Amino acid sequence: MSEFRKELKYLPSHEWARVEEDGTVTIGITDHAQESLGDVVYVETPEVGADVNAGEEAGVVESVKAASDIFSPVSGVVIAVNEALGDAPETVNESPYDDGWFFKVKPTDLSELDDALDVDGYKAALEEDE
């Protein structure tokens, strides 16, 4: 059974977004996503300073099976990326909501996240997929 976090916002494409106390947004992929991907072997994050747009691709996660695009839930400037994933991409499998985060964004408009799903909405979207 996949783990979910109440405080996060979700995209139907299986990314999560967490609004931090300083107003920045941390982005990763969900527990369900890492489970269905299988062993993650490579993560390509955007570069620090790059602009990302809500709903547009911002990176790639590759498992032993396939490559999948990562979409950013918000628009803004990338202020940090998880460099540790370069040497330890399996962290995405082990800790998808904590150590396995992908990148942080300084958002231009936080209200974009109003369009994202809450935890119940994401669970419902997963059930529809089944």
Partner 1 sequence: MADTNSYSSDLKTTPLNELHEQLGAKMVPFAGYSMPVQYPKGVKTEHLHTRSSAGLFDVSHMGQVIVEGPNAASELEQLIPLDLEALAVGSQSYGLFTNDQGGIIDDLIIARWQQNTFFIVINAACKYKDIEHLRAHISESTITELTDRALLALQGPKAANVMQSICPQALQLKFMEFGEFTVQGESMFISRSGYTGEDGFEISVPAQLARSFAEHILSFDEVEPIGLGARDSLRLESGLCLYGQDMNDQTNVIEASLAWSIHKNRRANGSKAGNFLGADAIFAAQESGVSKKRVGLSVESKTPVRSGTLLVDANSQEIGEVTSGGFSPSLEKPIAMGYVSSDFAKVGTEIFALVRNKLIPVTIAKTPFVTQNYYRG
Instruction: Tell me the two tokens of residue 120.
Output: 């119940």
Could you say which residues in the range 13-72 bind partner 1, by CB under 8 A?
Answer: 13-15, 29, 33, 36-39, 41-42, 44, 60-62, 64-71
> Nearest approach, Cβ of 41 to partner 1 (angstroms)?
4
> Nearest approach, Cβ of 91 to partner 1 (angstroms)?
14
The β-bridge partners of 19 are 25
Number of Cβ atoms within 10 Å of the Cβ of 54: 21
CA atoms within 13 A on the CB side of 40: 27
Where on the chain is the footprint of partner 1 (CB under 8 A)? 13-15, 29, 33, 36-39, 41-42, 44, 60-62, 64-71, 86, 129
